[in-house]
């Protein structure tokens, strides 16, 4: 002999565990069913798309049921009610659909099956509008994305920038060399690298004329930061220009 009461109690416990806050017991007077037995309401909402940004729903319905004496060998009492936004004519169609499915599932616990069917029905009928709204929101966010503008970095532009940067640093080194080095005969003149490696360039700092002597931060460069050949070529060019300039000034003074 089938223990209907035990099967019904086990189904209620399972529904509570699965549906949690969506499942609640209500008074029979609120159910709209012709019964004094225990009644329950399950809140049903449309399926939410994975990309949805909406946490609220435009439509919700309540699936109300009560076990009959010989359930599940006979169908449960069913009712559907609109919690938000569902039209009465649609509720009537859904109730007929669920009653038909209940008669097709006799002999087994069927409430969760009916809940899934109602959710699919609600999603098909009303969920498309919410999905369109979410797509519009997603497109609006895409339109608001700021695309960075500017010259893209390529190998050529990086090499050009690096050459300018190394040239500036090489000239800064040359400016620290004393006048005696710049005016020395070519055969005795040290290259910029040789002068710095000799230790004479360490700690040198220019002093502004007409101002009190001030301590200035030593400028120290790591050899690893530069390419040796490029550095010497730039310094030789700079020293040659300084030497020619010094010779020109000396000739001008003798002429005067």
Write out pLDDT tens, residues 106-135: 999 999 999 999 999 998 888 655 555 555
Q: What is the pLDDT of residue 30?
A: 93
Are residue 176 and residue 241 in the same domain, yes or no? yes
Q: Look at 228 and 234; give whichever has higher pLDDT.
A: 234
Are residue 76 and residue 166 in the same domain, yes or no? no
Which one, of 57, 60, 59, 63, lies nearest residue 26 by Cα? Answer: 63
Tokens 């599940």 correspond to what residue? 72
Domain membership of residue 185 (yes or no) is: yes
Are residue 105 and residue 159 in the same domain, yes or no? no
Mean pLDDT of the chain: 75
Domain count, the chain: 2
Question: Can you give the pTM of this predicted structure?
Answer: 0.51
Are residue 101 and residue 46 in the same domain, yes or no? yes
Are residue 178 and residue 106 in the same domain, yes or no? no
Q: What is the pLDDT of residue 241?
A: 64
Which one, of 62, 79, 70, 63, lies nearest residue 106 by Cα? Answer: 70
Q: What is the pLDDT of residue 43?
A: 96
Q: What is the pLDDT of residue 166?
A: 83
The helix-helix angle for 4-19 and 111-144 (nearest 10°) equals: 10
Are residue 126 and residue 171 in the same domain, yes or no? no
Range of the domain at 64: 4-131
Tokens 């399972």 correspond to what residue? 14
Domain membership of residue 148 (yes or no) is: no
Domain membership of residue 254 (yes or no) is: no
Distance CA 164, CA 161 (A): 5
Render pLDDT for 54-80 as a digit per residue (tens, 0 to 9). 556 789 999 999 999 999 999 999 999
Are residue 14 and residue 81 in the same domain, yes or no? yes
Tokens 């039209």 correspond to what residue? 87
Q: What is the pLDDT of residue 51?
A: 44
Are residue 91 and residue 168 in the same domain, yes or no? no
Are residue 116 and residue 186 in the same domain, yes or no? no
Q: Look up the CATH number of the domain holding residue 11.
A: 3.10.110.10
Domain membership of residue 212 (yes or no) is: no
Q: What is the pLDDT of residue 74?
A: 95
Are residue 93 and residue 164 in the same domain, yes or no? no
Over residues 7-14, mean pLDDT: 95
């Amino acid at each position: 002999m089938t223990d209907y009461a035990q099967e019904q109690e086990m189904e209620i416990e399972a529904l509570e565990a699965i549906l949690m806050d969506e499942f609640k017991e209500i008074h029979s007077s609120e159910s709209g069913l012709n019964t004094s037995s225990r009644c329950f309401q399950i809140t049903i909402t449309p399926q939410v798309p994975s990309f949805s940004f909406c946490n609220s729903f435009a439509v919700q319905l309540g699936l109300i049921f009560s076990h009959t004496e010989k359930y599940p060998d006979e169908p449960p009492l069913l009712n559907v009610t609109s919690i938000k936004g569902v039209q009465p004519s649609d509720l009537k169609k859904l109730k007929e659909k669920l009653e038909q499915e209940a008669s097709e599932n006799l002999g087994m616990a069927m409430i969760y099956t009916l809940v899934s069917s109602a959710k699919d029905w609600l999603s098909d009928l009303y969920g498309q509008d919410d999905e369109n709204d979410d797509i519009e929101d997603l497109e609006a966010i895409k339109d608001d994305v700021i695309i960075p503008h500017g010259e893209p970095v390529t190998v050529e532009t990086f090499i050009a920038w690096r050459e300018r940067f190394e040239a500036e640093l090489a000239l800064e080194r040359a400016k620290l060399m004393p006048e005696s080095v710049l005016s020395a005969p070519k055969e005795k003149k040290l290259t910029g690298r040789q002068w710095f490696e000799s230790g004479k360039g360490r700690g040198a700092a220019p002093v502004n004329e007409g101002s009190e002597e001030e301590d200035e931060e030593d400028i120290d460069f790591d050899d690893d930061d530069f390419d040796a050949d490029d550095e010497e070529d730039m310094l030789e060019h700079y020293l040659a220009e300084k030497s020619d300039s010094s010779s020109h000034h000396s000739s001008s003074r003798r002429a005067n």
